[in-house]
Each structure stands twice: as C-alpha cells, then as structure tokens.
C-alpha cells in the first residue's frame, strides 16, 4: 500500500472547502437578471381544482409571470416520467398515472405544486401568491394503504387506478414455499411496519433555469445525484430539448440519500420558464417545503413467515408487503419494493424456497422513492427480525440460528431462490469478528449489571446483505428499467502529466474526489495532487448514470480503472517506440515504463508529454494525445454483507431506550480509503438508528403531515448514538477489477433490525416479541404495561 | 415575512411608548418563537420592538434571599452563571437543558414566560418556586401569571423586566424531553421553599392541557417524605393532561411521578 494509493486512510481532499464554507452549492450560484420562483402548493391532501384565478397575482408588484398547468400544457410540456416499469403477476404493466409538473384537475397530496409565481424578489413572489384565488373542492383523502385497497373509498387516480393499486407483483416459487411450510417443524410469523421517513439532506433542493437565446441552449443548475439522468429524462420526456442544447450542472451537493436522484417538477419548471420569460429563474426549497416535496422513503406494511426444521434450519419463507407509492410515481419508485427488496429476501441464508408478493398502493401522500438503502433495509428488516424472533421461539442463540443457516463459503457463486446470484462472501467470518468486538460472550454479565441498576439490557444481532453496484443493464432492462445502468469515465492525461478524471459518478458527500484520485494515483504511480476529479456537469463529463445504490466505486470506479488500462496500454506503445524496444518487453511499474531486465525507462509524465508533442512518435500507427474513455456495464451486482451487534438498555419505568454499544463488521471487499469507509458506515448507522428510534413521517387521517418540521420530526443527534465500533472483513468482489463492493448504505440497512432485535431481547422477560419503528419510549412503555399483569402474576 | 418597522429602543420607557403607539406592534426578545412565526407569515406585526439594547434587562443578581434574573437574559447565561449555580443550581441546569445551543444563546427567560408554551421549562421553575414576575408596571405572582395555553396575565403593552425567585432550601428539576425539539413532554420541578416549614412545591410542565400546573398529590406526599420512592408511589391520572403525537395523556400521567422522582434525585441527591 502506498501512502496515498489504494488502501490509504488519507484525509478527504474536499474537506478543506466544505469545512471552510467555500464550496459552491447550487444556491451559491446567482445569475445576472435572475428572477425568483415561489411555488404555491396544495394545502390539502385531495381536492378537485375548481378554479385558479391568478389575475391579481399577475398584476402585483414585481411579478414577472404566473404559471399554472394550462401554460405548460399549451406549450406541449409533458409530465414527469417514471424510470421503471414493474409488471404485475398477471402480466399487466403497472398502473402509471400522469404526473403533471403543476397539478392539473386535482391536487393529490399536501405539497402538490399548483401555481408558479415568478417575481423580481422572493418576497414579491410570496406576496403575489397570497393573492391567488385557489378554489378547491376538498375530497376525502386516503393515507392508509389497507384502507386505500379496501375499495369504496377515495381513489387517488380514479381514471387509471380506481382501486389505488399500482401493481401486484410476485417473485419466487409459491408452490415450493407451500411444500416447505407443510414439512416445517416450526413456523415463525411476524407483522412489521417499515416507517415512512423524510430524507432530510442538509442542503434543501434548489433549481436554477437559464436560457441563452443566442445559442438556443438551456442550462439547469440543480441539486442532483445524477445530472445526466436528469438531462435525459427532462430533455427527452418533459421539455423536448435535445442533449446538445441542454446542460445540467450539479455542483457541490449537500447530501442526497436518494432524494436527489429523482427528476422533480421544479427542475422542469425553471428550465421551461427561463426560456418563456427570457430570464434566469431560481427556486430554492424552504425546509418545510422539503418535508412535503422531496420524495419520502420506505413505508411498508409486511406480513412474513419463515418455516424451520427441528434444527432451526430455514426451509421456506413467504412475504406479503404493501408498499406506499404516495400520490404519484416518483422516478424509481416502482423498483424499490420489488427488484431492490424482494430479491434480497434470502439474506445471508440458504433458505431453499422463498416467495414474495408486493402490492404497491397509491395514497394522498408525498411520493415515496429510494432512500439510503432503498429496498434492502426493508428486506433486511424482514429477514433479520424473523431470524431473531425464531431464535427466541426455538430456544437458540441469535448468532447460532444464523450460523446454522449461513450460505457457506464453498457454495459461491450462489443462486438464491429470488433471482440473484451472490458472487462471494464469508458470513461466518464477519459474524465472528462482530462477536469478538462486541464481547458477546459476556452479554449475560452486562445484563445482570444493568438489572442491578434497574435497567433491562438486551442484545440484537442483524446479519444483513445488500445488492450494490447497480446494475447489469440487460438484466435490469428485462426487469423493467427504462435506462441502462453502466457508468462512464474519461481519463484525460494532460501534456505535463497531470490527470483530469471525468466521471459520471456524482459526489454529494461520499468523498469521490479523494477515493477516485487514490485509485488513479495508485494505478499510474503519480502523486495524488496530479489528479483532478471532475463530476456533476453534463458539459464536461461525457456521460454518466450517477451515484446511488452504493454503485460509485464498483461501477464508476471500474469505468475509471478500465479507462486507465487503456491509457497505460497506449503509453506502453509510446514508451516502446521511445525506448526502441518491443511492446511486450515493456513493463509499467511505479509510474514508469521500463524495458524488462534493464534500467532503461521513461516516466509516465515523459510519455504523456511525447503524446502531445509527437516529434518522435509512431504517428503511422498511433494517434497523438493521451485521453481515453471507458463505459463499464457491470456483470453482476456486488453483495456487501456483514453482522451488526447492538446492545440497548431500556428503562422499564419510562420506556426510554439507550444504545449502550454498537458493533459493525462489514465485508465491503477491498477498501480504497478505510477512513472514508468508516465515515460512511458511521453515517449509515446513525440513519439506521434514527429510523429505529426516532424518525417518523406521520400523516393524520386528512393527509396532513403532522411531523412536518424539526420541531416534531426527530432527527438523530450525536448524543443519541454511542461511539461505534466498526471493523471490516473482506471477500473481494469476483467480477470487478478493484474487488470492491460499496459501503454507502450498509449502516442504514443493517442497523434498524439490530436495534429492534436488541429492544425485543431486553423486553424478553415481559414476553414482548415485537416493537414497531420508531421504538419511541411510549411504544416501549406500552409494550411493558401490556405485559406487566402477566409478568406480575408469575 | 411581511415588512415591518424595526425599532431598537435603549430604555424601557421608550420601548413601552413604542409598544403603546400601535396595537399591531410586537416586542421581540430572542426571536426563537417569534421569528419562525414571522417567516411562516403567521404573524404580521407593524413594528418589531427589539428589547436587546436595553441593558438593564440583561442582568443576574442575588438580593438577600432572592435571585433576580433580567427578562432579556439568554438561557445560556443562566446556565453558566455562578450566581445562579450558587443560589438555585437546578435552575441553571434547567436553563442548560433548553432546546439546543443556538436556542439557548438567543432565547430569553422573558420571552419564554411571555410566550407560555405549555411545554416550556421555565414556567415549571417559576410556579414551583413561587417566583414573582416583575413588569414595567407591577409585580405578578407566578401562581397568577400563567393563565392557560400560550396566555398569561400580562396586559397589552406590558413588558416583563425581570423574574424574582426566592432561593429555596432545595430544588430539583427533571424533564422528559420530546426528541425532536427537546421541549418538555413532562417536566417536573420540586422545591422545598426555605420559609414554609416542610412545604414542598411541585410544578409540572409539558403535560397539562391548560399549561403548567401544581401537582397536589405529589406536594402532599413530599411534605411527609421527599424521596424518589414516595414519588413513584403517587398515582397521577390522565384527566386534564395533553395527548398529542409525542405522548398520550396516559403516558404523560405515568411520567409525572417518575420525573418527580428524578427531580428529587436532581435536587436532593437521592436522599429525602
Ligand atoms: C428549536 C427550539 C427548541 C426549543 N426548546 C425549548 C425547550 O426545550 N424548553 C423551553 O422552555 N423552550 C424551548 N424553546 C423556546 C425558547 O427557549 C425561547 O424561550 C422561546 O422561543 C421564546 O423566547 P425568545 O426570547 O426567543 O422570545 P421571542 O420569540 O422573541 O418572543 C416570544 C414572545 O414573547 C414576547 N416577549 C418577549 N419578551 C418579552 C418581554 N420581556 N415582555 C413581554 N413580552 C415579551 C414577544 O412579543 C413574543 O410574543 C425552543 C425553541 C426552539 C426554536
């Protein structure tokens, strides 16, 4: 390992500007002559729009324009497209309602955008918005999924989905599962809610549209995780702008967690409006607006069962899930509860038969889409809650039941019954490391000590698996993706030997500018300061599918490596010419091309210079210049996996839960920068603990989001979490050259089950075997109260 | 925010005159409650009268058996004050547990009690100590000051200048914080006031449907023996308590004796 290459824990190069507050976020961009857009949103969850009178607003001081859905329709502007089509088990495509930029005919959730007011200042836009006469005929709202499906109630989209069902999807062999259950010695059953979450990136969404009449080119500055995807979706499906006339630029982005993957109405609105009024248009979300306009996460209701033989070996599993889509289909919403959820139901286990059924439901709530982990936290929660519940029912230790069911190292590549093939893994190894780090052997002593202090201590184990590196394009295409999921990279070696890397991955807190530079410095044997990572701009980066699903190192990193290989190969030809040796006799090592067995060599920088000053150059065979592009389409997903062990202490008098310790042992394959990986795990764990204990987007029966601000929506803070103990194991990925898997979501995937399993263990003496997330003190207290008469009678 | 005129008087009289000049005028102290309301356009004052430049209002002093805290004293200063820590240490701890650092550095005791949020901490201390609210025109006993949710005995145009606390023999506070805002779901203040022999006052915030209240059952029990066990033995019913997304009335009822027990530990150090 070099000091700054692969494996080195160097500090993040981007920290300097982020910590000093000198980064450039979208809101830091101000264009000459810019106007401000305020969006009047629906105050109610469901209503027919009877009339919108904007005359007074349009005449108000400073107002430049007021737009409603009609203005967009008249200009031929389309609705927001959905990027994934899921097919129901009966072969029918999912129900795909129109998703207008501004509400047309009806409003379908609190926050649904209705009117755009554009003015010289934001205050004038807001003042004018108050003059809009929005005449709404309120309709009953539906927020509960079971009620939505029950029939007879309100329909969110009465035209395309009168029963609010988007799709009814299944995966796996139902007959094999039934047979397995017939032979079971024991069946464990569970009913779970996976709570709805608000993503809460620290930087709210911002979009600025600009139009250059001279060139006819549009620019959209936006807070996006994938500017090329936005260019593709918005250009091709919404505004009909060809790629060469549309630049999408996402500069520094302050966190996304999935919520900035999607193509949002405001992006199309400001891009379209800028041309319409001939001036730049800026829209900045206020925090309370983020709560009701950023796509939410999770929101599943699940019933699951697992069948075991007498030795605690899983024979079969069945899962029935209702997944909330909200009022419209956000960009990738349909695939999250299906292909990112059902496919992970094997977990780390050799369960031979699995069947998953998912019904996706429309409700009068904010659309739900991918959020850190996207489907895999939901799957892990189901599998790992079942495992720990079964352990208790079967009288086995939580680690022992897992050990009995792990897929063994010699079984890889392993085909699961739910359509994926795990390439590699060693689940016992990561669990063993977690057990050691958690001092699991002495849990009983710690429980006794807690008891003496009046506390109930519990331990929870969760052995998660996830699928990263999304994804082989042909595979996801067959599953309904309307895009390829490769990644692109260009390595531009400059004449003096410095390197610009143009990557289609996007960094919004992940530290790519450091990690990717380490890979390049390592491969080329040059100093990291010679490497610049460029991302986020469709005018500078050739192409890209962006960053989500922990895909950047596995897919984007591989594209970089493949482009580097082309650079090295071309350099070898140049060096062979310069050194008057056969190409086969040249080796590239430590930043220099050397003739094997001699000391004759040319440094990488010298070769680069010759490529651009080709006086002595094989011009007949080789083009000058040193720049290569690679598109990499992965062969498979990668499968990070690991074991988390959490210990909690519950105060039985109040139901308060304190996380006493948390251990994470993750197998991410090879690690490029252990410090960044550790940071990603920490962040993920905090989000997972936030979901388990604190966070909840609660709607009342009228469809009002009652936890719509930080006064009521509890985000985890430093004092809510312990000092984590994290470690890694490694079974390198077998199908990418770096042997990497991805680490961005693991913490959020594994933590919720570990925490809830720990709470249930703490409450075992009360017979409590489930607590819904978030496990608030009142829920825990109520569980204890409900059990107390029985416990007292013992 | 709507437009408003911003005034920053340097004397109390000037402030009172400005306040009297318009029925739409509003005082602003730390702005922690008022500014969010302005930003959401829920409040539309014609004038904002900032009390921040009136130096007399920002002062902490001990006068014999009383502790006096100026209305404009931010929570962080109360938390850090040696005078407060010496006189009523639990009050310093209460102030140090309000919200988060930003809120504690801006929010003031005057703003807090004028607002009388049913989940605010200070009202428990005022009521639990039998403190006196001093205004620019009179003095109001805490027992008479907090009249209901977000309402007080203040007259229009009246300005709180200080709070006078009798220094108790012992006092303790414990709060069960709402996890998002850190306001009290239940906060219990217990004090053994120096004068009244054996008298123990117990004030509960966060839980009452009408705001802060004295809990007679606990007061009675504590006057015999102020111990955590005594507290836990007292049953509090859910009637008259708040129910919201953060806690039901039943849960709040269960938390009151437990927080009272913790307040005893806080103020008595575990013993009676
Ligand atoms: C995120 C957050 C968390 C919080 N957590 C807590 C908590 O845990 N516990 C808690 O107790 N509080 C909490 N608060 C409230 C905070 O501590 C302040 O005390 C409160 O917001 C009001 O004080 P202020 O000085 O900011 O008053 P302002 O917002 O400036 O004013 C509030 C009201 O009081 C009036 N007013 C102000 N000063 C006077 C005066 N001298 N005389 C007459 N009227 C006056 C104003 O006109 C206004 O109507 C929290 C607030 C926030 C924003």
Residues whose CB is less than 8 angstroms from the CB of residue A155 and which lie 6 or more positions away in sequence, other chains included = A161, A162, A163, A164
Q: Let me know whether A441 and A514 are in one domain.
A: no
> Is any atom of ligand 1 closer than 6 Å to the C-beta of B120?
yes
Angle, helices A512-524 vs A557-579, to 10°: value is: 30
- Which CATH number fits the domain that encloses residue A675? 3.30.365.10
- Final residue before a domain boundary, out of A246, A274, A293: A293
Structural domain for A569, as ranges? 486-632
Q: Let me know whether A376 and A454 are in one domain.
A: yes
The helix, strand and coil proportions of chain B, stated in percent and rounded to the nearest 5, come to: 35, 25, 35
A781–B232 CB contact, under 8 Å: no
- Model confidence over B81-132: pLDDT tens digits? 999 999 999 999 999 999 999 999 999 999 999 999 999 999 999 999 999 9
**Residues in chain B, total:** 272
Distance from CA of B1 to the nearest CA of A (A): 8
- Final residue before a domain boundary, out of A270, A293, A316: A293
| Residue B40 touches partner A, C-beta closer than 8 Å | yes
- Model confidence over B125-177: pLDDT tens digits? 999 999 999 999 999 999 999 999 999 999 999 999 999 999 999 999 999 99
Nearest CA in chain B to A126: B1
CA pair distance A662, A642, nearest whole angstrom = 13
Band of the pLDDT at B197, cuts 50, 70, 90? Answer: low
Residue pair A749/A327 in contact by the 8 Å Cβ criterion:
no
Tokens of A355: 């069947």
Q: Is residue A177 part of a domain?
A: no
Burial of A213 (0-12, 13-18, 19+ CB in 10 A): exposed
> Is any atom of ligand 1 closer than 6 Å to the C-beta of B78?
no
- Which CATH number fits the domain that encloses residue A215? 3.90.1170.50
Q: Is residue A378 part of a domain?
A: yes
Q: Is residue A315 part of a domain?
A: no
Q: Let me know whether A460 and A501 are in one domain.
A: no
Q: What is the pLDDT of residue A791?
A: 47
CA separation, residue B10 to residues A37, A64, A199, A791, B112 (Å): 39, 42, 45, 65, 21
Q: Let me know whether A655 and A616 are in one domain.
A: no
- According to DSSP, the residues that pair with A333 across neighbouring strands are none
- Final residue before a domain boundary, out of A632, A654, A669: A632
| Residue A710 touches partner B, C-beta closer than 8 Å | yes
Q: Let me know whether A602 and A677 are in one domain.
A: no
Q: Is residue A322 part of a domain?
A: no
Please name each of the domains of chain B with its CATH number: 5-49 (3.30.43), 57-166 (3.30.465.10), 170-268 (3.30.390.50)
Q: Let me know whether A218 and A86 are in one domain.
A: yes
Using the predicted structure, report yes or no on whether residue B193 has a pLDDT greater than 90: no
Q: Which residue owns the Cα nearest ligand 1 atom 31?
A: B111
> Is any atom of ligand 1 closer than 6 Å to the C-beta of B261?
no
Extract the runs of DSSP E, i.e. beta strands, from A204-245: 206-212, 217-222
- Model confidence over B207-233: pLDDT tens digits? 999 999 999 999 999 998 999 999 999
User: Which of A123, A130, A694 has its CB closest to that of B179?
Assistant: A694
Extract the runs of DSSP E, i.e. beta strands, from A668-771: 725-729
Q: Let me know whether A526 and A407 are in one domain.
A: no
Q: Is residue A129 part of a domain?
A: yes
Using the predicted structure, report yes or no on whether residue B79 has a pLDDT greater than 80: yes
Q: Is residue A193 part of a domain?
A: no
| Residue A781 touches partner B, C-beta closer than 8 Å | yes
**Structural domain count of chain A:** 3
What SS3 state is found at A427? helix
Chosen from B4, B100, B179, B259 to mutate, greatest number of chain A CBs within 10 A: B179
B180–A707 CB contact, under 8 Å: yes
CA pair distance A792, A227, nearest whole angstrom = 61
Q: Let me know whether A619 and A645 are in one domain.
A: no
Q: Is residue A579 part of a domain?
A: yes
> Is any atom of ligand 1 closer than 6 Å to the C-beta of B105?
no
Q: Is residue A24 part of a domain?
A: no
A711–B180 CB contact, under 8 Å: yes
Q: Let me know whether A617 and A748 are in one domain.
A: no
| Residue A694 touches partner B, C-beta closer than 8 Å | yes
Q: Let me know whether A92 and A130 are in one domain.
A: yes
Q: What is the mean pLDDT of each run of 10 residues along chain A (794 residues)?
A: 87 95 97 98 98 98 98 96 97 98 98 98 97 98 98 95 98 98 97 98 98 98 97 96 97 96 98 98 97 98 98 98 98 97 98 98 98 97 98 98 98 97 98 98 98 98 96 93 94 97 95 97 96 97 94 96 98 97 96 96 97 94 97 97 98 98 98 97 98 98 97 96 98 97 97 98 96 98 84 44
Q: Let me know whether A658 and A567 are in one domain.
A: no
Q: What is the pLDDT of residue B199?
A: 86
Distance from CA of B45 to the nearest CA of A (A): 16
| Residue A715 touches partner B, C-beta closer than 8 Å | yes
CA pair distance A750, A752, nearest whole angstrom = 6
Band of the pLDDT at B269, cuts 50, 70, 90? Answer: confident
Residue pair A254/A508 in contact by the 8 Å Cβ criterion:
yes
Q: Let me know whether A774 and A720 are in one domain.
A: yes
């Amino acid at each position: 390992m070099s000091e700054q290459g692969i494996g080195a824990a160097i500090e993040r190069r981007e920290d300097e500007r982020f910590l000093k507050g000198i980064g450039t976020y979208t809101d830091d961009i101000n264009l000459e002559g810019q106007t401000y857009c305020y969006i009047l949103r629906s105050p109610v969850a469901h209503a027919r729009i009877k009339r919108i009178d904007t005359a007074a607003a349009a005449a108000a001081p400073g107002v430049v324009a007021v737009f409603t859905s009609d203005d967009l329709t008249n200009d031929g502007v389309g609705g927001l497209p959905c990027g994934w089509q899921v097919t129901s088990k009966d072969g029918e495509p999912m129900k795909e309602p129109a998703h207008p930029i501004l509400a047309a005919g009806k409003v379908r959730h609190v926050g649904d955008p209705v009117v755009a007011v554009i003015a010289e200042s934001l205050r004038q836009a807001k003042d004018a918005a108050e003059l809009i006469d929005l005449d709404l005929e309120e309709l009953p709202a539906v927020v509960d999924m079971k009620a939505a499906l029950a029939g007879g109630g309100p329909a969110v989209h009465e035209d395309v989905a009168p029963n609010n069902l988007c799709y009814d999807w299944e995966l796996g062999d139902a007959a094999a599962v039934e047979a397995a259950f017939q032979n079971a010695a024991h069946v464990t059953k569970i009913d779970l809610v996976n709570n709805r979450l608000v993503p809460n990136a620290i930087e709210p969404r911002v979009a600025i549209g600009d139009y250059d009449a001279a060139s006819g080119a549009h620019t959209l500055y936006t807070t996006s995780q994938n500017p090329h995807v936005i260019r593709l979706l918005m250009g091709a499906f919404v505004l009909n702008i060809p790629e060469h006339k549309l630049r999408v630029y996402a500069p520094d982005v302050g966190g996304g967690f999935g919520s900035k993957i999607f193509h949002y109405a405001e992006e199309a609105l400001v891009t379209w409006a800028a041309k319409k009024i001939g001036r730049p248009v800026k829209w900045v979300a206020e925090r309370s607006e983020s709560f009701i306009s950023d796509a939410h996460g999770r929101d599943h209701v699940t019933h699951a069962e697992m069948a075991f033989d007498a030795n605690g070996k899983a024979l079969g599993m069945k899962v029935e899930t209702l997944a909330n889509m909200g009022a419209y289909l956000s960009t990738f919403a349909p695939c999250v509860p299906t292909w990112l959820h059902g496919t992970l139901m094997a977990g780390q286990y050799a369960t031979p038969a699995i069947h998953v059924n998912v019904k996706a439901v429309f409700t009068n709530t904010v659309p739900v889409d991918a959020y850190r982990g996207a489907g895999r936290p939901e799957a892990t929660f189901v599998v790992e809650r079942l495992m720990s519940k079964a352990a208790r029912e079967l009288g086995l230790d939580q680690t022992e039941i897992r050990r009995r069911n792990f897929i063994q190292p010699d079984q890889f590549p392993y085909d699961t019954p739910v359509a994926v093939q795990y390439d590699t893994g060693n689940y016992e190894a990561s669990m063993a490391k977690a057990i050691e780090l958690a001092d699991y052997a002495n849990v009983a002593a710690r429980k006794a000590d807690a008891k003496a202090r009046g506390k109930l201590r519990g331990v929870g184990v969760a052995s998660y698996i996830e699928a990263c590196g999304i994804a082989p394009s042909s595979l996801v295409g067959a599953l309904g993706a309307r895009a390829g999921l490769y990644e692109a990279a260009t390595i531009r070696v400059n004449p003096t030997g410095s390197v610009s890397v143009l990557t289609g991955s996007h960094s919004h807190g992940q530290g790519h500018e450091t990690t990717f530079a380490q890979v390049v410095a390592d491969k080329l044997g040059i100093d990291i300061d010679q490497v610049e990572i460029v991302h986020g701009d469709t005018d500078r980066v050739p192409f890209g599918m962006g960053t989500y699903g922990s895909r950047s190192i596995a897919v984007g990193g591989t594209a970089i490596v493949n482009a580097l290989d082309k650079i090295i190969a071309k350099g070898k030809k140049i060096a062979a010419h310069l050194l008057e040796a056969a190409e086969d006799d040249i080796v590239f090592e430590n930043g220099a091309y050397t003739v094997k067995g001699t000391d004759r060599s040319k440094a990488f920088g010298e070769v680069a210079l010759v490529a651009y000053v080709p006086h002595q150059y094989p011009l007949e065979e080789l083009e000058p210049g040193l720049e290569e592009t690679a598109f990499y389409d992965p062969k498979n997903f990668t499968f990070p996996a690991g074991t988390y062990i959490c210990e909690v202490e519950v105060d039985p008098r109040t139901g308060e839960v304190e996380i006493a310790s948390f251990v994470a042992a993750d197998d991410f394959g090879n690690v490029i920068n252990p410090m960044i990986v550790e940071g990603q795990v920490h962040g993920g764990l905090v989000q997972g603990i936030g979901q388990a204990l604190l966070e909840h987007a609660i709607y009342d029966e009228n469809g009002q989001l009652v936890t719509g601000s930080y006064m009521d929506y509890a985000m985890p803070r430093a004092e809510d979490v312990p000092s984590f103990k994290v470690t890694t194991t490694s079974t390198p990925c077998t199908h990418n050259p770096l042997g990497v898997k991805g680490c961005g979501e693991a913490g959020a995937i594994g933590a919720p089950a570990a925490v809830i399993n720990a709470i249930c263990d703490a409450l075992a003496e009360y017979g409590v075997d489930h607590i819904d997330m978030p496990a608030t003190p009142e829920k825990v207290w109520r569980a204890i109260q409900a059990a107390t008469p029985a416990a007292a009678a013992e | 925010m709507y437009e408003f005129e911003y005034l920053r008087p340097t004397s109390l009289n000037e402030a009172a005159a400005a306040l009297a000049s318009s029925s739409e005028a509003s005082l602003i102290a730390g702005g922690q409650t008022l500014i969010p309301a302005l930003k959401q356009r829920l409040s539309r004052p014609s004038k904002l009268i900032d009390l921040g430049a009136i130096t007399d209002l920002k002062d902490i002093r001990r006068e014999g058996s009383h502790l006096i805290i100026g209305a404009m004293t931010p929570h962080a200063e109360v938390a850090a004050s040696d005078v407060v820590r010496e006189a009523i240490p639990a009050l310093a701890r209460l102030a140090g547990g309000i919200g988060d650092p930003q809120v504690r550095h801006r929010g003031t005791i005057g703003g807090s009690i004028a607002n009388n949020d049913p989940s605010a901490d200070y009202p428990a201390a005022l009521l639990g100590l039998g403190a006196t609210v001093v205004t620019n025109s009179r003095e109001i006993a805490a027992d008479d000051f907090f009249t209901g949710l977000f309402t007080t005995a203040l007259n229009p145009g009246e300005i709180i200048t200080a709070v006078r606390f009798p220094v108790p023999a012992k006092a303790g506070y414990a709060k069960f914080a709402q996890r998002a805002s850190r306001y009290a779901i239940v906060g219990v203040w217990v004090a053994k006031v120096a004068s009244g022999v054996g008298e123990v006052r117990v004030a509960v915030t966060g839980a009452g449907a009408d705001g802060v209240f004295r809990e007679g059952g606990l007061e009675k029990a504590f006057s015999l023996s102020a111990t955590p066990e005594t507290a836990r033995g007292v049953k509090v019913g859910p009637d008259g308590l708040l129910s919201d997304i953060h806690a039901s009335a039943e849960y709040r009822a269960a938390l009151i004796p437990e927080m009272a027990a913790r307040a005893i530990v806080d103020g008595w150090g575990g013993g009676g």
